[in-house]
Amino acid sequence: MKSGLGIFVTGSDTGVGKTMVAGGLAALLRKAGRDVGVMKPVETGVHPSPARGAVDDASFLMKMAGVKDPAELVRPVALKAPLSPYHAAAREGASVDIGAIMDAYAQLRSRHEVMIVEGAGGLMVPVTENVYMADLARMMGLPALIVVHPFLGCINQAISAATVAQAEGLDLFGIVFNAWKKGKYPAPDFP
């Protein structure tokens, strides 16, 4: 990958393994000698003190990329409810600041050769009342990498997600059919 590149990792659904794919890409790029930054612009379902052994997506991505960037840049918005960012923020009486997300991205972008950004859910998940994950990818100028689970119906989901990416003006980096089992992160020494 050349300087200035990046990927916006999205999914056909929630729980399809976006974090595993994003983390794996970050680790591979790091092992290839690239300076890779990671970002989870909005993470929902975040608890102030996770259960022992639990790891949030942003921390996992940072570990896989081997970065020490400030957590508030890597994950500028953390919400407790496991809902879309817009609905989680509404439940908490908060709002999602798109400007803060884009400022954090600009700072990370200036620090790293390649950026791996993991969205929440799919491209049409609402971040605010009028901004969707696809809008974040477009504002960041990143192509979409769509992660799909390998179950019955996945071809339709993959084509539907790719069609949305195209309709939203995003370049499609690719589609990953991910067989990672939902529920646990890999062992601490992974990869």
**Annotated catalytic residue, options 40, 80, 181, 184:** 40
Distance in Å from the first CA to the final CA of the chain: 21
- Give the span between the Cα atoms of 88 and 152, in whole angstroms: 30
Written as one string, the DSSP assignment of 3-55 is: TTEEEEEEESSTTSSHHHHHHHHHHHHHHTT--EEEE-SEE-S--SSPPTT--
Catalytic: 40? Answer: yes
> Is the preceding omega at residue 70 within 30 degrees of 0, hence cis?
no
CB 115 within 8 A of CB 38: yes
**Unique residue bearing structure tokens 């929440």:** 120
Read off the DSSP letter of residue 181. P
Task: Name the CA dihedral angle for 21, 22, 25, 26, rounded to a multiple of 10 degrees.
Answer: -150
Active-site residue set:
40
